[in-house]
Amino acid sequence: MAARRSIVKWIGGLVATALGVAIAVPAGAFLSFPTRKRTVGGADEPVDVGELERLPEGQPTRVPVRVRDLRDAWTRFTGVTLGAVWLQRDGAEVRALSTVCPHAGCAVDWEPADERFACPCHDSVFDPSGARVSGPAPRGMDRLDCAVKDGRVLVTWRRYRQGVAGKEET
């Protein structure tokens, strides 16, 4: 009789534990959402930044990178500016350089008289290809993926860590 009672007790404990786990796992997943999920959507895809034909040859042109639709875990935003790029057209090809200075994040300008990029914050200078010439910037300007499709220029926006020599995505 005592053995039977102990088996019933043991089974009862097992069922209670199973029920606890069955409730705790989904509850934990619900409460921890979105800590382990990628929650921002709409910023990873290539962004249409304009018509190829409107870009002058040779001269860098600054354009904003703006997405129509950006979503995070709970909110949806429209018309969000992610940043800006310098576009350089060479025939049917376009190169995109982030305007974000790799030193500390100021906006890099194009100086047409000297044909160079320069950062006003701490005087980093870059050549027209974006390579570092002088100043505290630890690397050249960050090149972004850029493609031309059906006459439209598409840029994939990325941010990289500042103040380091390597290009590390943030």
Rule CB under 6 A: which residues touch ligand FES?
Answer: 101, 103-106, 119, 121-122, 124, 135-137
42 vs 105, beta carbon nearer ligand FES: 105
Question: In whole angstroms, how close is the CB of 170 to ligand FES at the nearest point?
Answer: 16
DSSP code of 165?
A: S
Beta-carbon neighbour count of residue 130 at 10 Å? 21
Name the residue nearer to ligand FES (CB basis): 144 or 153: 144
Q: How would DSSP label each residue in 81-128?
A: EEEEEEEEEETTEEEEEESB-TTT-PBPEEETTTTEEE-TTT--EE-T
Residue 66: CB minimum distance to ligand FES, A: 23
98 bridge partner residues = 85
Name the minimum Å distance from CB 152 to ligand FES: 31
Identity of the residue, 63 or 106, whose beta carbon is nearer to ligand FES in the bound complex: 106
Handedness of CA 66, 68, 70, 74 (dihedral sign): positive
Q: Which is nearer to ligand FES, 94 or 117 (CB)?
A: 117
